Structure 1
């Protein structure tokens, strides 16, 4: 055996002690860090810093910020870890104007709420006022002011909820281009052959339709209107089949 490679035990002891001390120090730092981190978590959970201090809402137009916050149940006394996004979303979606809600809780104390509302599909005229109707059939409070609504058709003469819902649901299925071509929809109280709707179009024509087939047949209007003689105006019947009856004034003028 080569004696030069043998290290006496008394020479190795200082090195062994040093290595053991370093390992002990590493363990102490690890345990101390873990304890300190745990202490910080406990202090944070018990401190005011864990309560929601920033609550933002986006996407609201028909509903107010305060209504969304109230429906969420979140306040400045709510701890961030108590926010359950799925449960809060369900509460917000109970609002009649809200279609979907997305809730996100962010460390340390911020909550963001994004909503998507139902679209306004019509206005109901009642007692001289105009009440917005959403695509889910919800009837909102009367709009303020005397300005006439121009972003959706106005419904006149509707007293039965079933007829109102049928027309509103029909409008929800119609392309926006077709909706913008409709000015007013009047309910005919004494219908003939189930034709209980009279639509006044923005191009000067009228459409006779039925609540039962309104949503499907009105989508044919752009094609029918485009095929009419230039400058011709009249009534288009869209209940059973489709045909055009020109205004009598136009007929006499042409003779």
Structure 2
């Protein structure tokens, strides 16, 4: 029968002490790592390393990038962790030229501002200068030109702000392929219809319609114009129904082109 080897307590104590020491050292290293990590974060947050170094702006055409950055209130002294996105969005959207804004922060020090501007839908003429009009009815006072580029219709006689805003909103909803062939829009209110408008089209036709629900009504124009002879001259009436009225001729039943258009 073999005898079990007996280890005395004196032999075991040094090994226990060594094991405890290793365990204590590991715990110390762990706590020190956390401590220095937290110190590093504090130093980073308090140092220029956490400041915004790059602000990228996209979607801007009316303003230079630096103008948008200045309006946003973000500078190279701004800590990237303190950028208030909601406040930046609220500030920029006060600008009548800007429709919507989104803001993104990308570590370590980049802020991205994405703009969606109101679309230019027309021009107003004042004192021989043409001023762009946006989809919300706002006029761009610093972007006047002495000639039209033909990229948007001229709005004539829109002297009432509420009427101009409503017309602008309707134009912004109109498909571009139709809006691009409108040369001029004249507000011509009558006792019967305060919202009556006369359009001069680039294909030679005139259109009589109304501001209310104009974007819906005007969608039938291409199909009506396509049914008319190229040399035809007259007015296309687009209201409850739609029909063509030749100049200096009586309207006959055969000349009426009807389309269902919601008033």
**TM-score, with length taken from structure 1:** 0.87
Deviating more after overlay: 240-249 vs 205-214: 240-249
Is the contact between residue 103 and residue 111 of structure 2 (CA under 8 Å) also seen in structure 1? yes
Deviating more after overlay: 96-105 vs 12-21: 12-21
Partner residue, 1:231: 231
Is the contact between residue 213 and residue 239 of structure 1 (CA under 8 Å) also seen in structure 2? no
Partner residue, 2:66: 66
Aligned positions of 1:135-150 closer than 5 A: 135-150=135-150
Is the contact between residue 131 and residue 144 of structure 2 (CA under 8 Å) also seen in structure 1? no
Partner residue, 2:75: 75
Aligned residues: 248
Q: How far 1:213 moved relative to its partner?
A: 4.5
**TM-score, with length taken from structure 2:** 0.85
Is the contact between residue 53 and residue 109 of structure 1 (CA under 8 Å) also seen in structure 2? yes
Q: How far 1:183 moved relative to its partner?
A: 1.3
Aligned positions of 1:114-129 closer than 5 A: 114-129=114-129
Structure 1: distance between partners of 2:142 and 2:15: 87
Is the contact between residue 128 and residue 146 of structure 2 (CA under 8 Å) also seen in structure 1? no
Aligned positions of 1:64-103 closer than 5 A: 64-103=64-103
**Runs of 5+ in structure 2 lacking a partner?**
250-263
Structure 2: distance between partners of 1:122 and 1:192: 26
**Runs of 5+ in structure 1 lacking a partner?**
250-255
Distance change >3 Å, CA 8–CA 208, structure 1 → 2: same
Which contiguous aligned blocks of 4+ residues in structure 1 show a shift greater than 4 angstroms? none
Q: How far 1:36 moved relative to its partner?
A: 0.7
Structure 2: distance between partners of 1:149 and 1:126: 16
Structure 2: distance between partners of 1:193 and 1:15: 106
